[in-house]
A and B are shown apart, each in its own frame.
Chain A
Amino acid sequence: MKPEDFELFSTLVKQRSGLILTPEKAYLLESRLFPVARKHNLKSLEDMAQAVRARREEPLLLDITEAMTTNESFFFRDQKPFVLFQQKLLLYLLSARKEKKHIRIWSAAASSGQEAYSLAMICLEEAAKFQGWKIEIVGTDLSREMVARARAGIYSQFEVQRGLPVTHLVKYFQQIAGDKWQIKENLRQMVQFREGNLLTNVGVEGVFDIVFCRNVLIYFDGPTKTRILDTISQMMYKDSFLILGGAETVLGISDKFKVVPGAHGLYIGQDSTYEL
């Protein structure tokens, strides 16, 4: 690929999604953009670069941006954040929100929905404690394709075995074909999925008690991380919780949050007095 074409695509992707593409990633760019070129009847990436320069048509720009996202996810990813959610955060909110009996949870950069559904499964397991409560779970992602997949709640045999205990498979899924499993209706109704871009229109409104934003900041540069953490902090209460991925932190990036000692990946607002 010509350096100026690489530059064009990587700038576009950076502006639109925040994703940083270094020149070593040129091969990745090529393999992911070929299908987009074909879909838009463009013969080569050079032609596609030309089309971007000449017309800047929204559908093409969107497809290019989405093609460069990495959507890997699995149920109960890394386990620990979900144990924390079940054993600590929900219990904290059970008393802290006992007047309003309403909890809002946001899975930001939800990809194909495994994180949001894992949280919903835990909420069902804990349902006895939350009789009469309203628990809202929303997942957002930039990728329209991922949002559609998340809504459908259909996963391959491979996906339902990564991280998901088999007892949960039996309880919360129905087998719709030999190797396809769908989240049961009652669980799907607990979760909403919307398109949203963390850089611009995040796709949800209001204030959240718990925000999971995992394995997405790693793709961004410092200023972009700071900006996104700022946005999220404005959508949290004084005592809300933020959970980041295993390789992510707020340290040196945002002064809106502080670490909770002893809880890896859990962050709280500067004014929160929560401790484990």
Chain B
Amino acid sequence: MKSCLIVDDSRVIRKVARQIFEAIGYSCTEAENGQTALDLCKTALPDFVLLDWNMPVMNGLDFLHGFRKLPGGDVPNVVFCTTENDLEHIQEALGAGANEYIMKPFDADIIRGKLEQLGLLES
């Protein structure tokens, strides 16, 4: 089973995302900020990361920089999922190695569509 790490400081968002990912066969773990997420990743790398931008302690962008430096951290797909919806943020995220970018609000169709584009889900 593929694993997904959901990083978001909102419990509600994590729950919604978890439901979407579990429905397509992922096992999910959650983290409420970038630091907790990075610590989890040092033990075991997930196959996929859904990543909020603005979070206390460590934000999504800093997490991503740290994550890509971990051994094997260049492989998993990291998809931002954030209310930051301007071109500058998107470009910054892509520059830091994000594979896709979702602007909130999102729904199951958007997530599934992005997974299809990344070749992780059959259309």
Contact = CB atoms under 8 A, between A and B. Distances in A.
A161 B113 contact: yes
Interface residues of A, number: 19
A167 B106 CA distance: 18
B123 A79 contact: yes
30 contacts: A74-B113, A79-B116, A79-B117, A79-B123, A80-B123, A157-B85, A157-B103, A158-B110, A161-B103, A161-B106, A161-B110, A161-B114, A162-B109, A162-B110, A162-B113, A163-B113, A163-B117, A165-B100, A165-B117, A166-B90, A166-B94, A166-B100, A167-B94, A170-B90, A170-B91, A170-B94, A174-B87, A175-B87, A178-B86, A179-B85
B49 interface: no
Interface residues of B, number: 18
A166 B116 contact: no
Interface string A154-181: 0001100111011101100011001100
B63 interface: no
Contact of A161 (B91, B94, B102, B116): B102
Contacts of A76: 117
Interface of A: 74, 76, 78-80, 157-158, 161-163, 165-167, 169-170, 174-175, 178-179
A165 to B, nearest CB: 5
A163 B111 CA distance: 10
A155 B25 CA distance: 32
B86 A175 contact: yes
Interface string B10-49: 0000000000000000000000000000000000000000
A79 B113 CA distance: 10
Contacts of A178: 85-86
A170 B87 contact: yes
B60 to A, nearest CB: 15
A164 to B, nearest CB: 8
Contacts of B85: 157, 178-179
A51 B123 CA distance: 46
B101 interface: yes
Contacts of A175: 86-87
Contact of A169 (B90, B106, B109, B110): B90
Contacts of A74: 113
List of 6 A-B pairs having minimum Cβ-Cβ separation, nearest first? A166-B101, A161-B110, A79-B123, A165-B117, A175-B87, A157-B103
Nearest to B109: A162
Contacts of B117: 76, 79, 163, 165
A214 to B, nearest CB: 14
A102 B123 CA distance: 32
A16 to B, nearest CB: 31
Interface in B64-85: 85
Interface in B92-120: 94, 100-103, 106, 109-110, 113-114, 116-117
Contacts of B116: 79
